[in-house]
Amino acid sequence: MAAGGSATAGGPTTSARPDHAALEVRDLRVRYRSIDDHGPDVLAVDGIDLTMDRGEVLSLVGESGSGKSATLLALAGLLPANASVSGSVRLQGHDILALPERARARVRGRGIGMVFQDPGGSLTPVLTVGSLIDEVLLVHRGLQGAAARAETEALLARCGVGDPARRAQAYPHQLSGGLRQRVAIAAALAAGPEVILADEPTTALDATVQAQVLDLLVGLVADEGVALVLVTHDLAVAAAVADRIAVMYAGRIAEERPAGELMERPGHPYTVALRAAALPFRPRDRDGEGIQERLPELRGRMAAAGGTGCSFAPRCPLATDHCRLVAPPLEPFEGGLVACWRAGELAEWPGVESPEVEPEVPLAAIEPQAVGWPGQGA
Amino acid sequence: MTTLRAQGIHRAFRASGRPVRAVDGVDLSVSSGEIVGLVGESGCGKSTLARIMVGLDRPDQGEVWLDDRRFVRPDGSVERALRHEVQLVFQDPHASFDPRRTVGRSVGMPLRAAGVGRQGARKRVIELLEQVGLDPVLADRLPSTLSGGQLQRAAIARALAPEPAILVCDEPVASMDVSVRAQILNLLLDLRRERGIGILFVSHDLGVVRRIADRVAVMYLGRIVETGSSEAVWRLPRHPYTRSLAASIPTGSTSWRARGSVPRLEGEPPSAVDIPSGCRFHPRCPIAIDRCRVDDPVLRPFPPDVEVACHLAEQAGDVA
């Protein structure tokens, strides 16, 4: 929990306690060197800790520049050459950052499955989707020929791809976006990973297909017991599928708490703003002519990571001089962690208990009973 | 008070020699001072309809009217004198600005084209940029130096230059961060309130449409299947497709997670190459009956102000 402390976490091999977590990240930092060697380095991730158990969904939420994608790429080992990573990432008992390169690639390849926003870009266009998955099975599980193909078809079927024997013969461009994402998820599962990292996996999909794919991911976590890290800019998506949500801001975790509690009573002012922006409800207030008022708005831009004071202070309605001078540590708060000097006072802030938004449609209208299709069930 | 009205619009394209009926008989109107949300999945024809309504694409059949003046004729020709009244804002501002031209010159192009002198155009560009909340110094910068949100404001300024009555915005906030998105949506709300502009807001994102639209039209495979005031439609979505869309928006509630508790729409948005017989939604519809397979439903009125194209629309009331 000692974020923001000393860097160089050399080799935390003295694990006195048994380590059952699927994934354990300590003091992760990602720094990009300027490509032309003249500009300043950019700190993208500024010392974060994460612990994931099997069968758990953690969502990393934030806007562009928050460091959420850099965190994911660092875990997956997919950062560009000008990035440097420090800290420790424990997967299957290995500190993968401390392993030699080939061993690291093997542990990662087997232990981590990756799903990207654009499934078209992550599937090889010249391989049929079946042979793509066959190859993963050969490399990581030693399966070949008919055994591999049978497993490939089972994986496709498990991911909701209808008629898997025929679909396995298709090239990625012959499939719709939703099917491609299902194939990408099947490929991510093929090595039998403990952790799936998904970067905005439904952002490019239609709402109805997004719902199907989110259902699929949540189902896989429950049935296969993998840990899922879901990166999204949409707090509403995170709330829908995550057990825990970590809101990131300027390279650090601003708040990490169980999803329901975080949505109900945010502990960080940035979470309050994100929630107001993400929920699909109209502002309650209208002027005399029934014309709608403006939406809650967060002005300004995200600060660069690594400055003095709280990086959210320039945009925060509650910021004090103390906030501007001293960065708040991530401290226990109502079931989780919050980095805000004023987290305790937030409950009295008008934006929190009575949010500026209110369901115009009663939530019940889209809860199960009310949506129950006429003529079905009863 | 101006109303842009599309009537009986049909538009087909050819894909591998087969006709794709992108827009298949649609009426839609937008008036000054209102925001109309046009929603649907990819390929439903919403962008084609939007392009026809600004006169950028021609319909095969149908007309577009501005009050009692004909804007787009049945032969597809456009009344140029009315063009300035309807302006389009695209999804990706980086693609809709000439990268080699300063932002100010691009924003001023419609004015220069209308015969405004250089000095006058410059003065007006500054006013327009201020109106959309941009620092006028950005007029002399190149588009690549602006953020996505800034450039989308500039795109809106450019669309406002000819003083249109109606703005058509095609996915104007897709792929924006939530805080930037709120700022752009507020700009549109301000333009509506302060200047009485009418806005057709085209989006696949029901959550966004639900936040800002006064009226909504839900499109499926080239047809509007449900339309009405936002309040009425979201309070009681009558078309099974609208209900599936509503159920698929994450609401911020964690109970959404409970698997199987909310009916999901099966399958993917189908292609307009093979439009199903009868009701075009019936293959995905959880409540379809035999009649739906043969009998194509038309829009029927439901008081106070909703229209629904579904044989079973009455049943929606039973479950509310």
Structural domains of chain B, with CATH: 3-213 (3.40.50.300), 230-319 (no CATH)
* Amino acid at residue number A163: D
pLDDT digits (tens, 9 = 90+) for B54-69: 999 999 999 999 999 9
DSSP element (H, E) containing A185: helix A177-189
**DSSP secondary structure string, B48-94?**
HHHHHHTTSS--SEEEEEETTEEEE-TTS-B-GGGGGGEEEE-S-HH
Q: Which of A208, A222, A260 sits opposite B245 (nearest CB)?
A: A208
- The model's confidence at residue B244, banded by pLDDT at 50, 70 and 90, is confident
Q: Which of B257, B261, B290 best tests the A interface by mutation, with the highest count of A CBs <10 A?
A: B257
Place of tokens 């926003």: A117
- The model's confidence at residue A141, banded by pLDDT at 50, 70 and 90, is very high
Residue A139: burial class (beta carbons within 10 Å; 0-12, 13-18, 19+): middle
pLDDT of residue B257: 59
Residue with the bigger pLDDT between B255 and B218: it is B218
Q: In the structure encoding, which two tokens stand for residue B209, read together?
A: 């449409």
Verify whether the Cβ–Cβ distance B234 to A365 is below 8 Å: yes
When pLDDT is averaged across residues B272-299 and rounded to a whole number, the result is: 92
Share of chain B above pLDDT 70, in %: 96
Verify whether the Cβ–Cβ distance A211 to B185 is below 8 Å: no
Q: Which of A203, A278, A294 sits opposite B252 (nearest CB)?
A: A278
Tell me the chain B residues in contact with residue A215 when contact means C-beta distances shorter than 8 Å: 259, 264
The rounded distance, in Å, linking the Cα atoms of A358 and A280 is 9
Q: Which of B204, B234, B257 sits opposite A218 (nearest CB)?
A: B257
Share of chain A above pLDDT 90, in %: 57
Q: Are B50 and B64 contacting, i.e. CB atoms less than 8 angstroms apart?
A: no
Verify whether the Cβ–Cβ distance B179 to A222 is below 8 Å: no
Residue B138: burial class (beta carbons within 10 Å; 0-12, 13-18, 19+): buried
Give this complex's ipTM: 0.84
pLDDT of residue A207: 84
Q: Chain A: nearest CA to B256, how far in angstroms? A: 5
My answer on whether omega of the bond before B99 falls inside 30° of 0, hence cis, is no
pLDDT of residue A93: 82
Whole-Å CA distances, A265 to A77, A195, A272, A349, B12: 35, 29, 9, 11, 51
Question: Is the pLDDT assigned to residue A358 strictly greater than 90?
Answer: no
Tell me the chain B residues in contact with residue A297 when contact means C-beta distances shorter than 8 Å: 179, 182-183, 186
pLDDT digits (tens, 9 = 90+) for A162-216: 899 999 999 999 998 889 999 999 999 999 999 999 999 998 888 888 888 998 9
Question: Is the pLDDT assigned to residue B310 strictly greater than 90?
Answer: yes
Question: Is the pLDDT assigned to residue A331 strictly greater than 90?
Answer: yes
Q: Which of B204, B249, B258 sits opposite A280 (nearest CB)?
A: B249
- CA nearest A162 in B: which residue? B267
- The model's confidence at residue A12, banded by pLDDT at 50, 70 and 90, is very low
Q: Are B184 and B172 contacting, i.e. CB atoms less than 8 angstroms apart?
A: yes
Verify whether the Cβ–Cβ distance A236 to B249 is below 8 Å: yes
Q: Which of A279, A282, A360 sits opposite B252 (nearest CB)?
A: A279
Verify whether the Cβ–Cβ distance B254 to A234 is below 8 Å: no
Residue A269 phi, psi (nearest 5): -60, -30
When pLDDT is averaged across residues B21-38 and rounded to a whole number, the result is: 96
Tell me the chain B residues in contact with residue A368 when contact means C-beta distances shorter than 8 Å: 258, 261-262
Closest CA to A371 of B291, B33, B243: B243
Q: In the structure encoding, which two tokens stand for residue B302, read together?
A: 């439901």
When pLDDT is averaged across residues A318-331 and rounded to a whole number, the result is: 94
Residue with the bigger pLDDT between B286 and A246: it is A246
Provide the sign of the torsion angle of the four alpha carbons A107, A112, A113, A117, taken in this order.
negative
Residue with the bigger pLDDT between A376 and A337: it is A337
Q: Chain B: nearest CA to A11, how far in angstroms? A: 37
Share of chain B above pLDDT 90, in %: 68
- Mean pLDDT is lowest, of A25-39, A159-173, B27-41, B132-146, for A25-39
The rounded distance, in Å, linking the Cα atoms of B147 and B223 is 36
Instruction: Say which DSSP state B188 is in.
Output: H
Q: In the structure encoding, which two tokens stand for residue A272, read together?
A: 């309050």
Tell me the chain A residues in contact with residue B208 when contact means C-beta distances shorter than 8 Å: 280
Residue with the bigger pLDDT between B248 and B155: it is B155
* Amino acid at residue number B89: V
- Mean pLDDT is lowest, of A208-222, A281-295, A355-369, B45-59, for A355-369
pLDDT of residue A273: 87
DSSP element (H, E) containing B183: helix B178-195
pLDDT of residue B114: 87
- pTM, rounded to two decimals: 0.86
pLDDT of residue A10: 39
- Mean pLDDT is lowest, of A33-37, A276-280, B175-179, B257-261, for B257-261
Q: Chain B: nearest CA to A367, how far in angstroms? A: 7
Q: Are B273 and B284 contacting, i.e. CB atoms less than 8 angstroms apart?
A: no
- CA nearest A215 in B: which residue? B259
- CA nearest B232 in A: which residue? A361
Q: In the structure encoding, which two tokens stand for residue A178, read together?
A: 């939703």
- The model's confidence at residue A152, banded by pLDDT at 50, 70 and 90, is very high
- Mean pLDDT is lowest, of A306-310, B74-78, B250-254, for B250-254
Size of interface A-B (CB pairs under 8 A): 176
The beta strand positions in B82-154, using DSSP E, are 86-89
The rounded distance, in Å, linking the Cα atoms of A95 and A12 is 8
The rounded distance, in Å, linking the Cα atoms of B204 and A251 is 31
Question: Is the pLDDT assigned to residue A371 strictly greater than 60?
Answer: no
Tell me the chain A residues in contact with residue B178 when contact means C-beta distances shorter than 8 Å: 63, 233-235, 274, 277-278
When pLDDT is averaged across residues A138-154 and rounded to a whole number, the result is: 95
- The model's confidence at residue A366, banded by pLDDT at 50, 70 and 90, is very low
The rounded distance, in Å, linking the Cα atoms of B257 and A55 is 14
Up-side HSE of residue B39: CA atoms within 13 Å toward CB?
Answer: 33
Residue A378: burial class (beta carbons within 10 Å; 0-12, 13-18, 19+): exposed
User: Length of chain B in residues, anyone?
Assistant: 320
Longest CA–CA span in chain A (Å) reads 72
pLDDT of residue A364: 30
Q: Which of A207, A273, A297 sits opposite B248 (nearest CB)?
A: A207
Tell me the chain B residues in contact with residue A275 when contact means C-beta distances shorter than 8 Å: 252
Q: Are B182 and B210 contacting, i.e. CB atoms less than 8 angstroms apart?
A: no
When pLDDT is averaged across residues B136-154 and rounded to a whole number, the result is: 93
